[in-house]
């Protein structure tokens, strides 16, 4: 990912200038290298025009704010140590707090609600989350406090995303991953986004890069929200997004190939060969893999590429914990 290399004594001044120009990437940390500092930036032709030395380097992401810790400290006054150990991570989606309350803490629900409202006074709904269900991967929710709605406006990576948790899949924890992809993409690319949902990936990529995205989604409610989301962000988007309502397995084979294919694949669906077949240069394929089977997964991808007469380089990246020893992973695949 891009960084500007500057002399140490100029670093502060250049950092302020980059911030002013909207080119500084505050999500990654700068790094010292002897007499130089590497400042993380958003890729833009403007950097070259300004005469900066731009290099490609992996700078670490800043950790997400540990809001969970604040909730824990508020609850520490009421819950026992044993009870605190059962407390799970929660999400703030727009003005909705989504919590998990394990059965060991059900008798503490009132305390958890009160503590959440101290830490997040702007929240209007608190919902308890259930499991993902059906082919649209929508979760079941129970509203345990506040207004009776599951629609809200969520802000992430500089875009507004209208969501309806009762009808459409949405995972706020993929914010960093969407940003990572947006930084890998180059201006001018033609991108296929399969399993597009309400378009969080498409919006974030199109916000940062001047690209053409074709997004496919089967859930009609998600398609409607996606179109609303394009309208909501139209002044900010550098790229174009076209949405097709349909089944990827029927629609995609008729579309021809793309520079890059992104597949946030729903659990238990195998779209690997479809994604590889439609891509010319890059595929980002998401799946759920046991920690002992990473190598097997990589081999499967290489074999699939071979079948299609393509060569590939595969890097498997852990994205999130799914269940003990099983991770949500992204295979970044370069084709040549």
CB 86 within 8 A of CB 107: no
Region from 31-39, 211-219, 226-234, 236-244 binding ligand SAM, contact rule CB under 6 A: 211-219
Q: Which is nearer to ligand SAM, 133 or 142 (CB)?
A: 133
Q: Is 266 in the site for ligand SAM (CB under 6 A)?
A: yes
Q: Is 322 in the site for ligand SAM (CB under 6 A)?
A: no
Minimum separation from the CB atom of position 212 to ligand SAM (A): 18
Chain-centroid distance, C-alpha 175: 4
Among 2, 40, 94, 197, binds ligand SAM (CB under 6 A): 197
Cα 221 from Cα 169, distance rounded (Å): 10
Q: What is the DSSP string of 169-219?
A: ---GGGHHHHHHHHHH--TT-EEEESS-TTSHHHHHHHHHS--EEEEEES-
Within 10 Å of residue 174's Cβ, how many Cβ atoms? 21
Percent of the chain that is helix, strand, coil (3-state, to 5): 35, 35, 30
Q: Which is nearer to ligand SAM, 30 or 166 (CB)?
A: 166
Among 179, 195, 208, 327, binds ligand SAM (CB under 6 A): 195
Minimum separation from the CB atom of position 240 to ligand SAM (A): 18
Task: Name the token pair of 194.
Answer: 């399969």
Among 200, 205, 285, 329, binds ligand SAM (CB under 6 A): 200
Minimum separation from the CB atom of position 9 to ligand SAM (A): 44
**Binders of ligand SAM among 231-250, rule CB under 6 A?**
247-249
Minimum separation from the CB atom of position 199 to ligand SAM (A): 8
Among 41, 74, 96, 222, binds ligand SAM (CB under 6 A): 222
Q: Which is nearer to ligand SAM, 6 or 204 (CB)?
A: 204
Among 152, 219, 229, 233, binds ligand SAM (CB under 6 A): 219
Cα radius of gyration rounded to whole Å, the chain: 21
Region from 9-17, 66-74, 119-127, 210-218 binding ligand SAM, contact rule CB under 6 A: 210-218
Question: In 3D, which of 314, 185, 285 has the Cα closest to residue 238?
Answer: 185
Region from 30-38, 91-99, 117-125, 192-200 binding ligand SAM, contact rule CB under 6 A: 192-200
**Binders of ligand SAM among 5-44, rule CB under 6 A?**
none
Cα 112 from Cα 72, distance rounded (Å): 9
In b/e form, how buried is each residue of 56-80, taking b as 16+ CB within 10 angstroms?
A: eeebeeeeeeeeeeebeebbeeebe
Q: Which is nearer to ligand SAM, 39 or 225 (CB)?
A: 225
Question: In 3D, which of 70, 141, 154 has the Cα closest to residue 101?
Answer: 141
Q: Is 136 in the site for ligand SAM (CB under 6 A)?
A: yes
* Residue 149 DSSP SS3: coil
Task: Name the token pair of 111.
Answer: 């305390």
Q: Which residues lie near ligand SAM (CB under 6 A)? A: 135-137, 169-171, 174, 195-197, 200-201, 216-219, 222, 247-249, 264, 266
């Amino acid at each position: 990912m891009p960084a500007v290399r500057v002399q140490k004594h100029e670093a502060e001044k250049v950092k302020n200038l980059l911030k002013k120009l909207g080119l500084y990437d505050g999500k990654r940390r700068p790094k010292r290298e002897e007499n130089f500092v590497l400042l993380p930036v958003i890729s833009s032709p403007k950097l070259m025009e300004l005469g900066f030395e731009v290099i490609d380097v992996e700078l670490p992401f800043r950790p997400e704010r540990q809001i969970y810790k604040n909730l824990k400290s508020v609850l520490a006054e009421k819950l026992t140590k044993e009870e605190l150990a059962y407390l799970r991570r929660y999400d703030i989606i727009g003005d909705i707090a989504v919590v998990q309350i394990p059965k060991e803490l059900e008798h503490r629900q009132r305390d958890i609600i009160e503590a959440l409202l101290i830490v997040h006074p702007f929240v209007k709904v608190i919902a308890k989350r259930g499991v993902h269900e059906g082919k649209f991967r929508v979760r079941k929710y129970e509203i345990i406090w506040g207004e009776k709605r599951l629609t809200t406006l969520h802000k992430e990576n500089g875009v507004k995303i209208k969501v309806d948790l009762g009808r459409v899949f949405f995972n706020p924890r993929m914010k960093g991953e969407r940003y990572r992809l947006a930084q890998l993409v180059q201006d001018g690319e033609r991108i296929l986004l399969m399993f597009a949902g309400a378009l969080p990936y498409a919006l974030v990529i199109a916000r940062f890069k001047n690209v053409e995205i074709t997004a496919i989604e089967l859930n009609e409610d998600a398609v409607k929200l996606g179109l609303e989301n394009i309208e909501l962000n139209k002044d900010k988007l550098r790229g174009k997004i076209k949405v097709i309502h349909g089944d990827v397995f029927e629609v995609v084979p008729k579309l021809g190939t793309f520079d890059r294919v992104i597949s946030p694949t729903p659990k238990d669906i195998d779209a690997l060969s479809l994604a590889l077949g439609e891509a010319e240069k890059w595929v980002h394929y998401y799946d759920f893999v046991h920690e002992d089977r990473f190598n097997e997964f990589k081999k499967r991808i290489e074999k699939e590429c071979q079948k299609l007469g393509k060569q590939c380089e595969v890097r498997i990246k852990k994205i999130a914990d799914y269940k003990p020893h099983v991770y949500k992973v992204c295979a970044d695949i370069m084709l040549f």
